[in-house]
Amino acid sequence: MSESVDARWDLIVVGGGAAGMPAALFAARRGARVLLIDHAPVLGGTLWVATGQMSAAGTKLQREKGVEDSPQEHYDDVMRLSRGTANPELVRLAVFNAAETFDWLFDLGLVVRDDDPVKAYGHEPYLKARYYWPTKDGLAVKDLIEPLVHAEVAAGRIALRLSHEVTELLTDDEGGVCGLTALDAAGAVHRFHGRNVALTCGGYASNPEMYEEITGAPQYIAMSYAYSRGAGLRLGQSVGGYLRGAENFIANFGLPLASESYPTQPVVRLNTYPDRRQPWEIYVNARGDRFVREDMPSVDARENALMEQPDRRYWVIFDQAILEAAPPIAIGWTQVEMAAAFTAGYPSFHRAETLGALADMAGIEAEGLERAVRSYNYGVATGNDFLGRTHLPLPIGQGPFYAIRQQASTITTSAGLAVNQSLQVIRRDGSVIPGLYAAGEVLGAGQTMGRAFCGGMMVTPALTFGRLLGQSIIPIGN
């Protein structure tokens, strides 16, 4: 084991992603002696793969565009969207400091879409336009911050250890955190000592075992950052921290999977957004029952309805006439590509001459499916759909019939380490673990979004909490 000789660091930052880079950067600018460690060979974390949508109220761009908004309204909106399930303290800390974070990036040159800010991109809309989407996705954010971190490294104010996996936290006699051990790429163990440790090492979305242990659902989709393996949650727990927010697990409205061996990739994305494409198909669960009106305008209502279905999956059902008449449902696919998917051997795509055969192939109860189609066709004929659907263009009449299975999934982490409003990791009794802080996805999405998808409420809070840790929260000096 190698012992770091020039230690004690004022701050050791574990993970250089959306939260860790600003934490290290701003602490260094305050004069702290900072060590930044990352398991990956590069900085940036999930920003490499993230869409990078952000939300912030009271920004310069909003003022330029004449949008009147305030952090209080943002706060109220997140609590409305999450139906009170988000953590009030952390949402407040995030949104009341979000504009400063966004303006910082904007002044650095962040380019967002021309129409921004908007109220929504695919998630349940905010009441005010406070939602931004960088033209180069999450990478745009990484590309702005990373050079600033490297400048501090070059100036000797941040020591950077890439390809080092933090494996253990060190504690003193009082149970406070005073350092950590890390494993380098060659397998050598290093020990680093510090007054403060910030766990900014992301979530567990790329750790299928941990994901299933916490959410109770398999990790179906492999789209998260490879190093999001839940290390921060385990490290925090090892010194007395605990997890909260598992009850806020919420999944998206489904993707067709490429394989039965999980995690896997989606074959394609289906356009199940009625505001972009009105549905021509019906959606049924494994019993064959329709469970939500397919033209339900609320994304949140569709997602919540799916959460109640067996295995959180459903099948999109249609016939040949609908396939030919409807606008394409698979985003980016031609009708020819769509037709080819049904003979490509994907477990999510089925085609059969009769509804009964289709049900058998797909794993749907045949009687239920036939009943659902009969009932839907009655609604098409009379305009009286039993779920209240109003877009009823064609009955499902003649074979061949088609089924595409959609599996609800998430690419982020719902539960995470419990912290107080100063981002100090706490024990179950509310006491603080001295020297230990946490920010970003290691806290779990369930804190800043609750049991809902609140637009931009992961990237912006991660950046903001990291910035606050570095700028003001972490004590510096003797």
The site for ligand FAD (CB under 6 A) is made up of 14-20, 37-40, 45-47, 49-53, 138, 165-166, 200-202, 223-225, 227-228, 231, 411-412, 440-442, 456-459, 462
Please give the DSSP secondary-structure letter assigned to residue 475. -
Which of residues 51 and 70 has its CB atom nearest to ligand FAD in the complex?
51
Q: How far is CA 473 from CA 14, 122, 239, 401, 420, in A?
A: 16, 34, 21, 60, 12
CB of 397 to ligand FAD, least distance (A): 39
The CB-side HSE value for 161 (13 A sphere, CA atoms) comes to 22
Which of residues 181 and 278 has its CB atom nearest to ligand FAD in the complex?
181
Would the CA dihedral through 190, 195, 201, 207 be positive or negative? positive
Kindly write down the DSSP assignment for every residue of 210-244, as one continuous string.
HHHHHHSS---B--S-TT-SSHHHHHHHHTT--EE
Which of residues 46 and 248 has its CB atom nearest to ligand FAD in the complex?
46
CB of 411 to ligand FAD, least distance (A): 4
Which of residues 51 and 377 has its CB atom nearest to ligand FAD in the complex?
51
Which of residues 132 and 283 has its CB atom nearest to ligand FAD in the complex?
132
| Paired tokens of 135 | 């033209």
CB of 103 to ligand FAD, least distance (A): 17
CB of 472 to ligand FAD, least distance (A): 18
56 Cβ neighbours under 8 A, 6+ residues apart: 74, 95, 98, 99, 101, 102, 130, 132, 456, 460
By C-alpha distance, which of 237, 173, 232, 175 is closest to 12? 232
Q: Which contiguous run of DSSP H or E holds residue 14?
A: strand 11-14
The backbone torsions φ and ψ at residue 141, rounded to the nearest 5 degrees and listed phi first, read -70, -45
By C-alpha distance, which of 432, 444, 430, 438 is closest to 465? 438
| Paired tokens of 131 | 């939602």
CB of 158 to ligand FAD, least distance (A): 15
CB of 334 to ligand FAD, least distance (A): 26
CB of 45 to ligand FAD, least distance (A): 2
> Are residues 302 and 308 in contact, defined by beta-carbon separation less than 8 angstroms?
no
Which of residues 52 and 450 has its CB atom nearest to ligand FAD in the complex?
52
Rounded to whole angstroms, how far apart are CA atoms 294 and 39?
Answer: 43
CB of 326 to ligand FAD, least distance (A): 28
Amino acid at 310: P
> Are residues 215 and 237 in contact, defined by beta-carbon separation less than 8 angstroms?
no
Rounded to whole angstroms, how far apart are CA atoms 211 and 214?
Answer: 5
Which of residues 179 and 279 has its CB atom nearest to ligand FAD in the complex?
179
CB of 291 to ligand FAD, least distance (A): 27
> Are residues 295 and 279 in contact, defined by beta-carbon separation less than 8 angstroms?
yes
| Alpha-helical regions (H) of 216-334 | 231-238, 299-307, 320-325
Rounded to whole angstroms, how far apart are CA atoms 169 and 191?
Answer: 10
Which of residues 98 and 369 has its CB atom nearest to ligand FAD in the complex?
98
CB of 223 to ligand FAD, least distance (A): 5
Which of residues 39 and 92 has its CB atom nearest to ligand FAD in the complex?
39
Which of residues 112 and 231 has its CB atom nearest to ligand FAD in the complex?
231
